[in-house]
Structure 1
Amino acid sequence: MAPKLAISALLLLLVIIQALFVKSEPQISESLRLLEGARKGYTFEGLNQVKQYLKAFGYYSINGSSHTDSFDDVLESALKSYQQHYRLKFSMIANYSFFNGMPRWNKRRLTYMFRSSAFVIKANPLDIVMGFHRGFHGDNSPFDGPGNVLAHAFAPQDGRLHYDADENWSTNNAIRPNQIDLETIAIHEIGHILGLGHSQDPNAIMYAYYRTIQRNLGRDDIAGIRALYPN
């Protein structure tokens, strides 16, 4: 079942914005934060009403046969046009992704342990096992030395999270150009452990490429995890 979206609230917001777009952008942006979590490929009850509204204002140009409750390509394009027209600074469209089949944990309290050649911290029972490894380390995904693949993790409910021991890791607030921030990578890989795939949003911690220190979740990360664990 796809995450539920308050369609009546969405319609109301669109009407308010259409009528009062001359108001300051911060007011509009704060209201539109309620739309986070809408994502192409999913079905939301009543979404056809949103399509009809956008069509009435010239943003959604397609015949009535496609006025379903599915979030399709045409609706995505319409929302982007609406966003660009009113110069909204944050996206109505979610960019997060999941593993195939949307695997997730069936409990909310997870236990973990560190296990590598350096040290072991015991936890019992354990769900997540983290450690530093080099080259071939028994999971058919060998590391390649410094650079390129920094770490990897597996979908729920596997629980394995491996860091490449050959990387120049750092936990400092300021790092040198040849260093990798351990906390940034840890948050990203824990996202995979919980079931999130990569995001197309460059501001998300789940963006596929490491660039610099980023130790906070982005809006898209939060929307993705809420969609995966709605309760």
Structure 2
Amino acid sequence: MRIPLFIAILFVLSVPFPSSAHFFPNISSIPPNLLKPNATAWDAFNKLLGCHSGQTVDGLAKIKKYFHYFGYINNSSSNFTDDFDDTLESALKTYQLNFNLNTTGVLDASTIQHLIKPRCGNADVVNGTSTMNSGKPPAGSPTMHTVAHYSFFPGRPRWPANKRDLTYAFAPQNGLTDDIKIVFTHAFDRWSEVTPLTFTEIASYQSADIKIGFFSGDHNDGEPFDGPMGTLAHAFSPPAGHFHLDGEENWVIDGAPIVDGNFFSILSAVDLESVAVHEIGHLLGLGHSSVEDAIMYPTLGAGTRRVELRNDDILGVQELYGSNPNYTGPNPNLTPSQESDTNGAPKFGLSWVHGFLLVVGLFFAAFIEI
């Protein structure tokens, strides 16, 4: 049967186009012309250092836009002023509380240093409610888990009980080598070690539960990639299973430290496994944590490689799925919460998509421009 041309065109336009990604075995293998020095993002904030309520300083409007992007300012207007008003002070205090900073309401040095760290791109505050520290009930509250800091998406979406062996596949157009695929295998293994979930690679991209691909620019999910050192990756909450990475990044397969420091000190090099482990947490239903060494902590400081699950990550994912019978760590006998499983079409362009944003340098310049 022939398919009408306009239907075929619509189908093609609805399918993301994988890109040819840039992979390097290690930092030393990246051509020098692709490496950029670590940007001194701190310099752009010099005139904002110490800003407080009541002041008017050029650049504060960009700070407001940044907080609006991550949910701290619930305002549909994009016409932000340079006034340090009550709205900005409230947003700043919530941000400081979420990230375990002193809640001074002032743009002090420690806060600015934190603002320029690489971070995950989904909002910390959803519909006016923080999913991190400041959104938690007091310890001992009937609605509070005894361990404080992991979080879930609204409605606690998770994979249904009959889906414990999840399949994943890679976009065939990417032509990924075994060396690259094994990085994702290792990332999945970190989560299967502590849950009853297993992850099996299959050949069929269309039928896989989790679809992994490297894409460039607008790839029809409402969250276009923006080239090197902008949005690194994003993933959807369960059971959508979409996991997209920016093919224009310089992805490093072996993130072992070199010489005096880690490759993260080079602005344009990205550790593939660190991003993969974090985004798989989102694919399983985890939100962000306020525990600084947890995989699900929103920022990834310069000079770090974060791939090991911490207790907070483990407790969070086990609350959704229970424990792997062979796991001998904390609370091995947890069972999943008695919540309904959710159905799951991806909600493209909404808060269900989660991206890993590198805020240092180029990304933050788009907000600040000072």
Q: Tell me, what secondary structure is at the counterpart of 1:150?
A: strand
Q: Which has the higher contact order (CA 8 A, sep 6+)?
A: 2
Matched residue pairs, number? 151
Give % identity: 45
Amino acid at match of 2:170: F
Q: Tell me, what secondary structure is at the counterpart of 1:189?
A: helix
Using the TM superposition, give the Cα deviation of residue 41 of structure 1 relative to its aligned residue in structure 2, in angstroms: 4.6
In structure 2, the CA distance between the partners of 1:93 and 1:169, relative to structure 1 (3 Å rule), is same
Q: Is 1:128 aligned to 2:184, yes or no? A: no
In structure 2, the CA distance between the partners of 1:196 and 1:207, relative to structure 1 (3 Å rule), is same
Using the TM superposition, give the Cα deviation of residue 123 of structure 1 relative to its aligned residue in structure 2, in angstroms: 3.5
Question: Could you tell me the TM-score, scaled by structure 1's length?
Answer: 0.59
Matches of 1:227 and 1:181, distance apart in 2: 28
Q: Is 1:162 aligned to 2:252, yes or no? A: no
Alpha-carbon RMSD across the aligned residues, in angstroms, is: 2.6
Amino acid at match of 1:188: H
1:138 maps to 220
Matches of 1:198 and 1:108, distance apart in 2: 23
* Alignment partner of 1:95 out of 141, 145, 149: 149
1:27-176 counterparts in 2 under 5 A? 40-41=136-137, 69-71=142-144, 93-106=147-160, 107-115=163-171, 117-119=173-175, 122-123=203-204, 125-172=207-254, 173-174=256-257, 176=263
Matches of 1:156 and 1:189, distance apart in 2: 12
1:192 maps to 282
Contact 1:131–1:161 (Cα < 8 Å) also in 2: yes
Using the TM superposition, give the Cα deviation of residue 201 of structure 1 relative to its aligned residue in structure 2, in angstroms: 1.4
* Alignment partner of 1:216 out of 296, 299, 308: 308
Matches of 1:184 and 1:111, distance apart in 2: 21
Contact 1:199–1:206 (Cα < 8 Å) also in 2: yes
Matches of 1:165 and 1:133, distance apart in 2: 5
Using the TM superposition, give the Cα deviation of residue 116 of structure 1 relative to its aligned residue in structure 2, in angstroms: 5.8
Q: Tell me, what secondary structure is at the counterpart of 1:184?
A: helix
Contact 1:117–1:132 (Cα < 8 Å) also in 2: no
Contact 1:94–1:223 (Cα < 8 Å) also in 2: no
Q: Tell me, what secondary structure is at the counterpart of 1:209?
A: coil
Q: Tell me, what secondary structure is at the counterpart of 2:231?
A: coil
In structure 2, the CA distance between the partners of 1:170 and 1:100, relative to structure 1 (3 Å rule), is same
Matches of 1:191 and 1:110, distance apart in 2: 14
Q: Deviations for 1:71-101, whole angstroms, at most 9, x for unmatched residues?
A: 39xxxxxxxxxxxxxxxxxxx7421111110
Using the TM superposition, give the Cα deviation of residue 40 of structure 1 relative to its aligned residue in structure 2, in angstroms: 4.0
Matches of 1:142 and 1:112, distance apart in 2: 22
Matches of 1:69 and 1:229, distance apart in 2: 21
Unmatched 5+ residue regions in structure 2? 1-134, 177-201, 323-334, 336-370
Matches of 2:175 and 2:220, distance apart in 1: 18
Matches of 1:205 and 1:227, distance apart in 2: 16
1:227 maps to 319
Question: Could you tell me the TM-score, scaled by structure 2's length?
Answer: 0.38
Amino acid at match of 1:197: G
Matches of 2:227 and 2:300, distance apart in 1: 16
Q: Deviations for 1:130-188, whole angstroms, at most 9, x for unmatched residues?
A: 01111101111101211232100000000000011111110112353231110010000
In structure 2, the CA distance between the partners of 1:123 and 1:117, relative to structure 1 (3 Å rule), is closer
Unmatched 5+ residue regions in structure 1? 1-38, 52-67, 73-91
1:6 maps to none
